[in-house]
Structure 1
Amino acid sequence: MEDEASRIEAEVQKRLSVAIAQQQATFAAMMEQTMKNALGGIDQGTAALHEERKRLEVELDAAQALRTKAEQEGEKMAAESFEKHRRQYEEAIRTALLRDLTRLHIEGAKTTPDIMKWLNVDRTFVERIREVVNRVDKFHSKDSPAPKLEGNPRLRFVDEGRSGVIYFESSVGSFDMWWEMGYGALAIVAVPSSNDWELKTSMPREKRMEVLNFIGEEVVRRQTYKGSFIIGDDVITIYSE
């Protein structure tokens, strides 16, 4: 059991390293494009306004200095961005690994006690995966009925490329959730922890799982073809199936 836990932890750290590298590459590409745009604008200005050549040369030097600084600080920025959500990333990757292993055992007709022992997970986790396996067909199309919840809630999605924000809005409480694609799943959605729930949502703590189930079902219904989800301590992990 300790060997299995060590292998899972090693795989989590491996995938975290890959995720950091991907973020660094994304930051570098964004900065390079920004600098190209800036330099392009300066070149056009130099051609059109020759009399301001010296002023534009100063601006060109400043832009080049900014580019150098951005390249130097790009790795630091990517690392800081990653560290900001490191807890959610680690949970999502670990959950994805355990989810895949648990699902394989379930589909292999293994018992819940055996799975709990082999993977060092609790009964609730195994039963959640069994629910996922059983309800996949429920979300076969986006025409499936919307989940029900008091307060006439709705989700509003803001897409910023590979990440964004989901707004939960209802008459009894509203809050926002950062989301990002990947990390062992289709996407992860950061949600208020049990300790922070009442402060961040203005809703009673005993309603947390009901609300998070609504969010998970609605995200799957509207954003996937045939998906599923798992609710964790800090994230809802969305899968493509």
Structure 2
Amino acid sequence: MKEIKKYLESRIGQHSFYFEDLEGGYVYGYNENVQMISAGCMKLPIAIAILKEAENGKFDLKDKVTVFREDKVSGTGIIHEFGEREYNLSELLIAMLIQSDNTAANKLIDMIGMPRINELFQEMSLKNTVINRKILEEKDVKNVVQNITSSYDLCLCWKHLYKHSYLNEEHSKMVIDILKRQQMKNKVAFYIPEDIKKGMANKTGDLSGVENDTALIQISKGNFAFTVMSQGIPNNVYGNITLAKCGKMMWDMLINSWN
């Protein structure tokens, strides 16, 4: 893990990472508690917060909401391509996680409101994570307050899901299973073998100058949470290369050195 730290120290921009063996207890981080722009990675803790409120009896995942024309946000996802229609909450949750659908995320945020989401983040012990705004189109993001999180907090989300320590077992497994089908596996997972990559749960995030990826890796050697975040980078290709190289170093260590 020292190699990853040394590599990130050499890269342009601000970077952080965190790694945890969820069974063995080994941890290693670099700037892991520094607040960073979350981008789409915020959708992981949002999903956990939504499901917690369902467990609290505030609503049922079968409940339906209408997505109106004015609700639609372009960018990632596909709901903005359709006309006005009803969706149940589970459909919106799946769209938000698999396709990182921005419209779905905003409708779910509206369900419980940002103040309550932030309360739930504190309840989860996510000390560096704050949702300050709903999802905006890329052109509108530059001069607004950003949503923030940290490498540590994102790995803590995986730890909660793996250990069923915040949500019940059914909902914990639901989030993991949905994110195994997440469509963006070209960052941390880029150099990881295809058969392993298919079984990884991960959530990416990006904005101009921001590239993030957080993953749960479950293999015969153990269960691991790994997050790499970057901001202030020259361009997003540079960031993708950085994350992919970090993923390769992490994977090589697991395969060659982990007992």
**Band of TM-score, shorter chain:** under 0.3
Point out the structure with the larger helix share. 1
Q: Which has the higher contact order (CA 8 A, sep 6+)?
A: 2
Point out the structure with the larger strand share. 2
TM-score w.r.t. structure 2 length?
0.22
Between Structure 1 and Structure 2, whose CA radius of gyration is higher? 1
